[in-house]
Structure 1
Amino acid sequence: MNNFKLTMKTVISLCVLVAAVCYAQDTYNPQFDSFNAEEVADNTRLLKNYGKCFLDQGPCTAEGSDFKRVIPEALRTSCAKCTPKQRVLIRTVVRAFQTKLPDIWEALIQKHDPEGTYKASFDNFLNAQD
């Protein structure tokens, strides 16, 4: 009977581990939740540096490299893998690009969605209040 309990505990532990791994893959790294988007949005120089990173026109910080890697998928899926906090952060940074650095915003659009395939769905994401 003790072997059965030990086996069941092992099976349950493995199931929980598998579920945790699967869940983790359903969202982007939650460490991004603490990213200070307001600081970037309020600092045009910093915002421009991120834009240059995203456009392969300048160096990237570690965070910038991570963001650059997920931008295409986040655009195509309207941020489906974003945590609620990440959705707010992305909206903050995108709005800053749109208002403060529209040339960089247009270049990002041309790089990642030149045909405008995702424009309507991404605009809906940007305007959503979730």
Structure 2
Amino acid sequence: IYLHKYDNVNIDEILNNDRLVASYFKCLMETGKCTPEGEEITRWLPEAVENKCENCSEKQKMGSEKIIKFLFEKKNDMWKQLEAKYDPQGTYRQRYAEEAKKLNIDV
């Protein structure tokens, strides 16, 4: 299980603040500074994507789904850049197609 230390971070508060979204995005893209939370996410994101978040808590899975849906629907340019960085071959896009449909994300 990944660190629970950040499980109580208010994801809605972050997603409703363009400055915070941009800051986390730059962190994940390695083009800006990271907060301690951002460093943690950057550290475990590749593994979590690889193993379908099997080491994530239920709260982390729900938060991840919320963030993915938000980025896909409201910040699609950011989503595409993250996808290009973390899934350049489209491997995970295919692997997660079924889960995406459940979130009403049309891959």
TM over 0.5, yes or no?
yes
Cα separation, partners in 2 of 1:127 and 1:79, compared to 1, 3 Å: farther
Instruction: Name which of 52, 56, 67 aligns with 1:78.
Output: 52
Higher relative contact order (CA 8 A, sep 6+): 1
More helix per residue: 1
Q: Which runs of 5+ in 2 are unaligned?
A: none
Q: What does the per-residue CA deviation read over 1:20-76, in whole Å, with 9 as the maximum and x for residues that have no partner?
A: xxxxxxx11122321211111222221111011100111110100100111111111
Deviation at 1:120, TM superposition (A): 2.6
Q: TM-score, normalised by structure 2?
A: 0.85
Query: How many aligned residue pairs are there?
Result: 103
Cα separation, partners in 2 of 1:126 and 1:36, compared to 1, 3 Å: farther
What's 1:45 paired with?
19
Identity of aligned residues (%): 32
**Structure having the higher Rg:** 1
Q: Which runs of 5+ in 1 are unaligned?
A: 1-26
State the 4+ residue runs in structure 1 displaced beyond 3 angstroms.
123-129
CA RMSD of aligned residues (A): 1.7
3-state secondary structure, aligned to 2:7? helix
Tell whether 2:15 aligns with 1:36. no
Distance 2:57 2:77 in 1: 28
Q: TM-score, normalised by structure 1?
A: 0.71
Distance 1:47 1:61 in 2: 12
